[in-house]
Amino acid sequence: MGSMPTVRVLPEEILFEAEEGQTIMDAAHDAGYYWPTTCGGQGICTSCACMVEEGGENLDEMGRGEFKTLAEDRGEGAVRSGRVRLACQARVNGEVVVTKRGVVRE
């Protein structure tokens, strides 16, 4: 059995593992971190949104709901670039590096 995918969060250099197919936010919670959210992970606010620095191909494809929520907040162009994702929706399938401020040990 291979090692689990890792998520690295800048600028704080936080590192935690994710189970295959787990969302970034759930993986952070399991590792003992608080990830900023207003809607509690329902994909309807953008408080949890993070910038994807590396490994975007290791996240599952963005669903319609996630696209709609992000496009309303950030504009469609920013969302189509694939650089911004909702941490409560983006599922990890491999190593990924994201930028998100406010992630702290619980």
Q: Determine the pLDDT at residue 89.
A: 98
* Token pair of 93 as six digits: 């399938």
Architecture of domain 6-105: Roll (3.10)
Q: Please give the chain's pLDDT, 106 residues, in tens.
A: 568 999 999 999 999 999 999 999 999 999 999 999 999 999 999 999 999 999 999 999 999 999 999 999 999 998 998 899 999 999 999 999 999 999 999 9
In terms of C-beta density within 10 A (0-12 exposed, 13-18 middle, 19 or more buried), how is residue 73 classed? middle
pLDDT at 3: 84
Q: What is the pLDDT of residue 81?
A: 87
| Res 90: pLDDT | 98
Phi and psi (nearest 5°) for 16?
A: -145, 165
Q: Report pLDDT for 78.
A: 86
